[in-house]
Amino acid sequence: MAIRYSGHTLIPHLNVLQNFYLHEKPLNEDQFRTLYYDLELLPYTLGLCWYSVTDLAKTQHELSLAFSDEAFKESTIHGLGDEARDRMTYAIDAFLDAARRSQNAVIYYIRRELGKQLPLSMNKLVKGIRAGSIQLPDGLQAGILKYWDEHGLRLKQYRDLAQHHALVTSDVRLFQGSNGERAMYFVLPSNPEVASPARLLFGSPSVQAFPYVANQFLHLVSHIHWVTAAMAHGVSGRMALIVFRDGVSLDLTGHPVPTEETVATKVEELREALKGRM
C-alpha cells in the first residue's frame, strides 16, 4: 500500500481541528480561504518532513546496494564521493526547511484556539515568552519551552546554517562495522550555532546525519501532536471539502505530463547553449 505522506496520517485530529475552526463561526469568503490556507500548511509540512526522512533512508540503502558483500574486506572503507553526499544532503536540506516551517505552522492552531495574535515564528514566540511580553496557558507554555530547549532551537540552527552559510554534511564513507553489518559515516557538524564554515566541527562529538534527522522528526511530530491534542478534545467532524485555488471550470489549460527524460533533454540543451557563450 502506498504511503500518504501527510500530517493527517501522522496526526489524524488535525483534520478534525481544520473542520472545526473553519465552521466555528461565520466567515466571509476571504476569511474562509485565508484560514483554510493557514491551517493546511501544518499537515503539508509534516508530510514533507516524513517524505524527506524516508527519501534519505532510501538513498542510503540504494548507495549501499551498489556494493557486493565481497567489496567489504577487513578494514575496507569506501569513499562515496560528492554525488552521493549531494543526493543525501538534498533530503536533509528539505527536512530542515520543512521542520522549521512545521514549528511555525502549529502557531496558526494555537492562535485560533486562544483567540489571540502571536508571532508566526516559534523562535520569536519563545523569545516573547521569555521576555514576558507573551503569556500562554501554563502547561502549553512549559511544553513549548521544553521542546524548544531540548530539540527545536538546535533544529533551527542547522536550518539557518544550511540556508545562509554552508553545506551541513560531511563526506560519505561506507564500511562494515564490528558487528558485520554495513555502516555509513555521514555526519552533521556538532556546533551549528557558530554559523561560520571555518569553525564547524565534524565528529566532536559525532552527530550521525540519519539518526539525528529521524529522531528530530519523531520529536517534532510528538510535540505537535501534544500541542494540538488538547484542542481536539471533545471536538468531532472531519474535513469533507477541498478549496480550489482558482475555482472549478471545465475550461482547463495545462501542460503535457513530463518524464525524467523531459528534464534531461532540456538540461542538455541548456548545457550546449551555454557552451556557445564561451
Q: Is 202 part of a structural domain of the chain?
A: yes
Rounded mean pLDDT of 144-156?
Answer: 97
The reported pLDDT for the residue numbered 2 is 77
| CA angle (139 as vertex; 138, 140 as ends), nearest 5 | 95
Residue listed under C-alpha cell 572503507: 77
Q: Is 266 part of a structural domain of the chain?
A: no
CA distance 69 to 264: 33
**Is a pLDDT exceeding 70 seen at residue 143?**
yes
CA distance 142 to 136: 9
**Is a pLDDT exceeding 70 seen at residue 40?**
yes
The reported pLDDT for the residue numbered 204 is 79
Rounded mean pLDDT of 195-215?
Answer: 91
Choose the weakest-confidence range: 33-37, 73-77, 202-206.
73-77
Q: Is 238 part of a structural domain of the chain?
A: yes
Q: Residue 17 class from Cβ within 10 Å (0-12 exposed, 13-18 middle, 19+ buried)?
A: buried
44-99: pLDDT as tens digits:
999 999 999 999 999 999 999 998 888 887 778 899 899 999 999 999 999 999 99
CA distance 191 to 130: 24
Other CB atoms within a 10 A radius of the CB of residue 160 amount to 17
CA distance 19 to 17: 5
Does this model's pTM top 0.85? My answer is: yes
The reported pLDDT for the residue numbered 49 is 96
Q: Taking a C-beta distance cutoff of 8 angstroms, is the pair 225, 11 a contact?
A: yes
Q: Is 233 part of a structural domain of the chain?
A: yes
162-189: pLDDT as tens digits:
999 999 999 999 988 778 788 999 999 9
Confidence of residue 152 (pLDDT cuts 50, 70, 90): very high
Number of domains in the chain: 1
Rounded mean pLDDT of 98-109?
Answer: 97
The reported pLDDT for the residue numbered 278 is 73
| Lookup: cell for 60 | 542510503
Q: Is 150 part of a structural domain of the chain?
A: yes
Domain coverage including residue 11: 7-245
Mean pLDDT of the chain: 90
Q: Is 117 part of a structural domain of the chain?
A: yes
Q: Is 275 part of a structural domain of the chain?
A: no
216-267: pLDDT as tens digits:
999 999 999 999 998 988 777 666 566 666 665 566 677 777 788 888 888 8
* H or E stretch at 143: helix 138-147
Q: Is 106 part of a structural domain of the chain?
A: yes
Rounded mean pLDDT of 109-133?
Answer: 96
